[in-house]
Amino acid sequence: MSTGAQVSYCVDMDKSVILGNIEKRGWVPVGPDDDWQFYWASTQTCRNLFSVDSGYRMNDFQMINHFPNHYELTRKDTMVKNIKRYRRDLEREGNPLAEKSQEGRYLYLDFIPTTFILPADYNMFVEEYRKNPNSTWIMKPCGKSQGAGIFLINKLSKLKKWSRESRTVFNPNLNKETYVISRYIDNPLLLGGKKFDLRLYVLVTSFRPMKVYFYKLGFCRFCTVKYDDSAREMDNLFVHLTNVAIQKQGVEYNTVHGGKLSIENLKLFLEMSRGKAATDKLFNEINWLIVHSLKSVAPVMVSDRHCYECYGYDIIIDNDLKPWLIEVNASPSLSSTTLADRILKYRLINDLMNIVLPPDGVPDVKWNKTPSPDQLGHFVLLLDEELAAMNDQKSKKQKQ
């Protein structure tokens, strides 16, 4: 909707779904050194802007699309560190959320695969590996995206060989790159014999108090080759990695549907094949996983009121319908591989802007980012700690 307000904007990426939404609103483009009101920026631009050296101070009329230290959740190593710390802290407090089974697994907070950070946790990883030497693990460089540098291992010798060749693990001074190594989910839920993951969008408008919106139009991303967990297919990325950047290079890639299926269609399939109760339980667990991953970083996040963030959550469902958080992206891809993709992402940005901007469409940090229900579009409110606290107080008064 065009408000007629002359909002000045700045964008440092050429994405049609962003520019289309901005142009529809009749905004005016300005440079990064001008008095912009709305900035859709890359994570690098945000880092530069928020750095101590820049000395930049934002005004009440300015909004930007990343929190200063978003990487606490979106770097593979810091996400794991924060979730592990969160679980330990709850355990120390005696919080029932941190309860464990007899085997030592968390009953409610077991939503990331067993993961170690290399080179720091190398000895701990070896100890865990030796408990189950037939297991498969997946190695990922922390500073890369779109599936770059990822590989699977099922023998310690393969890791040692890689270490010698890359000179990473045992001599970290020669190569500062950090890796995470996670137990591979080797019993993924398959559709048509193929592995897939979920890409879900989550909008956070504040970390303290936490306010989180979930986007209903997520999708599944499929591998182009049928799943095969045998050793001979271990190096075949088309079997194991769902990243579109990798899959679209395959000869089997379908440019019409882009190897994607809507979450709504996945739900329908699961309700027919596994039943409604099991499907509802799965999606409740996904909501739970999102909320607690965000709570794990809330204490360390700089909750700047000029900021909001649209995270891209990557989740794998195993054959027992248990969801596993694989990673969270700070800049989920806004490129479109299909027409349906472009429509979805255009709607995502439109709905997001209707939440983060006041009803008059002019950026203002005093806006509490609580739009009327008809302005939510395809977002649903997942958590509002402020609202929850008010409701708690209300119910206490009623009991008195």
Checking if the pLDDT of 326 tops 60, the result is yes
Q: For residue 108, how far is the Cα from the chain centroid?
A: 20
Give 201's pLDDT tier (boundaries 50, 70, 90): very high
The whole-angstrom separation of Cα 324 and Cα 321 is: 10
Checking if the pLDDT of 180 tops 50, the result is yes
- Average pLDDT value over all residues in the chain: 87
Q: What is the average per-residue pLDDT within 127-141?
A: 90
Cβ proximity of 154 and 235 under 8 Å: no
The whole-angstrom separation of Cα 21 and Cα 27 is: 10
CA angle 261, 265, 269 (to 5 degrees): 115
Fold of 114-184: Dna Ligase; domain 1 (3.30.1490)
Cβ proximity of 212 and 203 under 8 Å: yes
May I ask the CATH class of domain 194-399? Answer: alpha beta
Checking if the pLDDT of 4 tops 60, the result is no
Question: At 296, is the secondary structure helix, strand, or coil?
Answer: helix
The whole-angstrom separation of Cα 67 and Cα 43 is: 9
Per-residue pLDDT tens over the stretch 216-249: 999 998 888 787 776 666 666 656 666 666 655 5
Cβ proximity of 242 and 223 under 8 Å: yes
Q: What is the average per-residue pLDDT within 251-260?
A: 62
Q: Which of 13, 27, 86, 5 is nearest to 292 (CA)?
A: 86
Helix, strand, coil share of the chain (percent; to 5): 35, 20, 40
Task: State whether the Cα torsion 104-106-110-114 is positive or negative.
Answer: negative
* DSSP H/E element including 263: helix 263-273
* DSSP H/E element including 115: strand 115-118
Per-residue pLDDT tens over the stretch 50-80: 887 877 888 999 999 999 999 999 999 999 9
The whole-angstrom separation of Cα 110 and Cα 285 is: 11
The whole-angstrom separation of Cα 138 and Cα 216 is: 30
Cβ proximity of 202 and 311 under 8 Å: yes
Residue written as token pair 């030796």: 130
Those residues whose C-beta lies under 8 Å from the C-beta of residue 250, and which sit 6 or more positions away, are 224, 225, 238
The residues of the chain that CATH labels 3.30.1490.20 are 114-184
Residue written as token pair 């101590």: 52
pLDDT for the residue 1 = 40
Cβ proximity of 313 and 198 under 8 Å: yes
**What Cα–Cα distance (Å) separates residue 160 from each residue in 135, 165, 174, 180?**
16, 9, 16, 15
The residues of the chain that CATH labels 3.30.470.20 are 194-399
